[in-house]
Chains A and B, each alone.
Chain A
Amino acid sequence: MELTGADIIVRCLRDEGIEYIFGYPGGAALHIYDALYKQEDVKHVLVRHEQGATHAADGYARATGKPGVVLVTSGPGVTNTITGIATAYMDSIPMVVISAQVPTHLIGDDAFQEVDAVGITRPCVKHNFLVKDVRDLASTIKKAFYIAASGRPGPVVVDVPKDVTANKTEYIYPQNLVMRSYSPVTKGHPKQIRRAVGLLCEAKRPMIYSGGGIVLSESSDKLTEFVRLMGFPCTNTLMGLGAFPASDPLFVGMLGMHGTYEANMAMHECDVLLALGARFDDRITGELKKFCPHATIIHVDIDPSSIGKNVPVEIPIVGDAGVVLQDMIRTVKNGGPQPNPDNIADWWKQIEVWRSVDSLSFDRDSDLIKPQLVIEKLCELTGGDAFVTSDVGQHQMWAAQHYKFDVPRRWINSGGLGTMGFGLPAAMGVQLAHPDSTVACVTGEASIIMCIQELSTCKQYDLPIKVINLNNRYMGMVRQWQEFFYDRRYSHSYMDALPDFVALAESFGHLGVRVEKPGDVDGALRDALKSDRLVFMDFITDQTENVYPMIAAGKGHHEMHLNPGTGEKAQERELA
């Protein structure tokens, strides 16, 4: 039977096993919306701004591993998705964005709501398509999902002109797909793997640095097995938190600009570094000239262009992190080189000294709410097992430092692009994917405003998200930089006219609570976690709190700015 292009799109989504799509209608998309109306397999979630749709799909993808799907209309519908697409691109999140386009005969005429979607998204997608013939539609959508989810994942845009959605053809969804121009390598080179294991076993000061690639490749179990087999210290990037359990003694915390003292010092002093599914981002490396000065570096990544891009690598291994880790485990278990705990006993002694500095400590006796305390309580009350999304700023770093993630896909944040406004819509996607789980959105009063309209979507779909607004009345992270590097000239990092967040949440139909005393934090969180509604908690926090440790621009891992208390401790320990 022949179907219209619009019906074909919906059938493709169904056959791809898509449960939810996030979207917003408009003229060019109306045939597709009509096709959605006539079926029940694919559920459409109506957001309040197309940016929200992309972040929600992104959150859904991060929490499930399945591609997130977005549907928008032409012109402004597409331009509103750019931030969300770029966010997904920077963090390698599988996403398919279907954008409607003006009819083919109007393309290029500056027609009403026409924008060159393929051109405008090109620099921030893994790939994109303009479908000019309905006969190519199903196969293009198949390709889009394949490209989005395989290799190093990423967003793919499929732009479909309105007339194509009206034209008819026979519907066949291809089962298999071979693309001569695209076939990602998954298996690492066996000789390189053996060399790498040999080098690791001989190391005196080994270090394992793992990133978002472990989460993306579903290889957290293999990472955990390998790290325990070797008995090495392991650090995770901001994107990799949860991939190795935070509660394991081999875990030394997050590394990088706001990483722990022990993780960063161990990076600086290590002699062999194994990087797994991580990309040596500048927020991780600090000043490249000072990065891991003593280390021989092994880098495992599915994207060859990530290897050797920022840092020279001795042993490059192109492959899926999980497949390579499996081969490494096998090499050790099947009589290959063996790790020797005696080799690294001194190294561990040193690391424990660094760890005892307790670089994430904060003032527990303050009369003001310390933001770290809120996160610590949240972690305690949710047993470390909630889904936590965040926005961007100090609150994001405190959440990353103080919520102890033991499993992957629980920590959901925009690491690469650093998109304020991500947290709330992302939480919607997560909550839809996991309706019975606790989903908390840790945010700041500046970030939350950027996509606040999505509170309305949360109401429509009864999403009981717990919004934790760490309200310091500042763009805290900006204020911190201005305090440190601009002589406290707080240029435009303060907002004078903040809304009453409690009233605002209530006007959207949710529960709002203001929490002003440290003693009330526990109770407020407990009540909120018990509620089956969205609760917006406005925590009035200490305005002056800063995120420590911090590596400033131009500094190396060993040149962290510590909070005044731990700074002294560190000095004592180093001298001892």
Chain B
Amino acid sequence: MRRVISILLENEAGALSRVAGLFSARGYNIESLTVAPTDDPTLSRMTLVTSGSDAILEQITKQLNKLVDVVKLMDLTDGGHIQRELMLVKVQAVGASREEVKRLVDIFRGHIIDVTESVYTIEMTGDSEKLDAFLEALQVTEIIEVVRSGISGIGRGERALHV
């Protein structure tokens, strides 16, 4: 099963490597991992996407909780939540496809943030499925480069993770 886990951890040197090291040492999957400081500069917030059997997922949360730098964590997939990912895409934009790409960007509510005679650079946010769908649609032209941030997640409504 695929799980999105949100983690608050001490903003200490090495905290990220403890999480990454845990996953490699125990052979757990990491699909994506994002991390940045929060409004409280002593805390970092991490969103980690992983998958495994129920037993493995239980171990993953327990092992993460066991890390001394981890303050709190929440499995977002346990309840209502929102996932967003940022993607930057550079594509060929010449001839007929130039118009076509622009239309697609509008339909998917992205932005063209850099333009040359032959290239568009596009910014798009959304959940991962939307970004996948957009890439699929972009087959009308040649994709030069794709940069995806990995998921950031947050609980819906009152559901919050804070100290």
Closest to A143 in B: B68
The SS class assigned to the B binding surface is helix
Is the beta-carbon distance between A127 and B66 smaller than 8 angstroms? no
Partner of A180, one of B13, B17, B63, B163: B163
**What chain A residues lie within 8 Å of B21 (beta carbons)?**
122-123
Is the beta-carbon distance between B62 and A130 smaller than 8 angstroms? no
**What chain A residues lie within 8 Å of B68 (beta carbons)?**
126-127, 147, 179, 181-182
Task: Verify if A118 is at the interface (C-beta below 8 Å from B).
Answer: yes
Q: Shortest CB–CB separation between residue A405 and chain B, in angstroms?
A: 30
Asked, given contacts A180-B163, A305-B59, A305-B63, whether A122 binds B17 with beta carbons under 8 Å apart, the answer is yes
Is the beta-carbon distance between A181 and B17 smaller than 8 angstroms? no
The SS class assigned to the A binding surface is mixed
Is the beta-carbon distance between A181 and B66 smaller than 8 angstroms? no
Q: Give Cα A119 to B18, complex, Å.
A: 9
Partner of B10, one of A123, A181, A308: A181
Q: Give Cα A486 to B65, complex, Å.
A: 43
Is the beta-carbon distance between A181 and B58 smaller than 8 angstroms? no
Q: Shortest CB–CB separation between residue A91 and chain B, in angstroms?
A: 17
Q: Shortest CB–CB separation between residue A96 and chain B, in angstroms?
A: 14
Q: Shortest CB–CB separation between residue A43 and chain B, in angstroms?
A: 30
0/1 interface trace, chain A 145-170, chain B, CB 8 Å (1 if under): 00100000000000000000000000
Partner of B62, one of A127, A147, A305: A305
Task: Verify if A198 is at the interface (C-beta below 8 Å from B).
Answer: no
Closest to B68 in A: A127
Task: Give 28 A-B contacts (CB < 8 Å), ordered by A residue.
Answer: A118-B14, A119-B14, A122-B14, A122-B18, A123-B25, A126-B68, A127-B68, A127-B69, A128-B14, A130-B14, A147-B68, A179-B68, A180-B71, A181-B9, A181-B69, A181-B70, A182-B68, A303-B66, A304-B62, A304-B65, A304-B66, A305-B59, A305-B62, A305-B63, A305-B65, A308-B55, A308-B59, A309-B59
Question: What's the A-B contact tally at a CB cutoff of 8 Å?
Answer: 39
**What chain B residues lie within 8 Å of A126 (beta carbons)?**
68
Closest to B62 in A: A305
**What chain A residues lie within 8 Å of B9 (beta carbons)?**
181
**What chain A residues lie within 8 Å of B71 (beta carbons)?**
180-181
**What chain B residues lie within 8 Å of A130 (beta carbons)?**
13-14
Interface residues on B, range: 20 to 34
Q: Give Cα A68 to B14, complex, Å.
A: 25
**What chain B residues lie within 8 Å of A179 (beta carbons)?**
68
Partner of A308, one of B25, B58, B66, B70: B58
Q: Shortest CB–CB separation between residue A202 and chain B, in angstroms?
A: 28
**The 4 nearest A-B residue pairs measured at CB:** A305-B62, A127-B68, A181-B71, A182-B68
**What chain A residues lie within 8 Å of B163 (beta carbons)?**
180
Q: Give Cα A304 to B62, complex, Å.
A: 6
A116-139 residues with Cβ-Cβ distance < 8 A to B are 118-119, 122-123, 126-128, 130
Q: Give Cα A126 to B25, complex, Å.
A: 14
Is the beta-carbon distance between B70 and A119 smaller than 8 angstroms? no
Q: Shortest CB–CB separation between residue B130 and chain A, in angstroms?
A: 35
A283-320 residues with Cβ-Cβ distance < 8 A to B are 303-305, 308-309
Q: Shortest CB–CB separation between residue A312 and chain B, in angstroms?
A: 8
